[in-house]
Structure formats: C-alpha cells, structure tokens
Structure 1
C-alpha cells in the first residue's frame, strides 16, 4: 500500500514593495512635490514639480519605472553642475 501524501502549504510569495511615484524636488528642496506622468503610447515620461514648476522629459521603454526617470533627472542635474564648475 502507498503512503498518503502530506499536504503542506506552499511557501508564501515574496512581497514586492511598491516604488515611489512622488519625489523631492532637486531645485526648490520641497519634499514630495515632484510627480511622474507616463505617456506609454508616445514613450515619454515627464517629471514636474508642483511648487517651482521645474520639469524634465525623457524617452522611456516598457520596463521604465518612475524611480528610473527621477534618477535620470538627478544625473542630468549633476552633469549640468559639473559642466558649469570645472574647478
């Protein structure tokens, strides 16, 4: 005779934390004022600050998230500052 199969629960799935969609503005230093809007049809993302009205546009692909666009904006700001201050 065969043994009965034990019914064990499958291990719980890993919980993925949601990524932020609202960020701090690098220009006016206000917290949680930069919103990210995606236009997946035209493959464009736009970040804009609600206080100082600074904005940044970039092209995206299907895997791009809001954090990626924000990081790209911060990198562009740093490159612009490095270009102005060679010393």
Structure 2
C-alpha cells in the first residue's frame, strides 16, 4: 500500500508563524506556572495580528512596559552565496 508523503495535519499558516505562535504559547504557560502577571503576545509588521492591534490590546490591559523581541528568519546560506541573490545583484 502506498504511503502518503505528507501525513502532517494541514496548516493554513507559514511554518515560521506556526513556530512563533507555539513559542508564544509555551512562554505564556511557563510564566503562568511561575505566578507571573506578564502577558506574551506575538505581532507582525505584516499579516495578523498587526503590531498596532497588539499594542492597542496591551494598552487596554493596562500594560505599562513592552519588551519586543524581533524574530528574524535566518537564511540557510549567506546572501552572497544564494543563486537567486547573485542573479538579482547582477
């Protein structure tokens, strides 16, 4: 019997977003277990939730401080070694 190559559940979001959502949830669980009142949210400069909407939500929750941790996608190869980057830079 043939086996399906992709048996993982379908996700409608990009893998990077799935990872950030998962990290956000795990960090919030960890802080809750430590009886912390910190709130963990993820936001994007593109897509949803937007940075503006998350900051508005935090303000409504009376948060007085925000710590932003940027999530930068690391390329697998340096830009100078990427064939598509070389074509673009020519």
TM-score normalised over the length of structure 1 = 0.27
Counting strand residues as a fraction of each chain, which structure ranks higher?
Answer: 1
Larger radius of gyration: 1
Counting helix residues as a fraction of each chain, which structure ranks higher?
Answer: 2
- The higher-RCO structure (CA 8 Å, 6+ apart) is 1
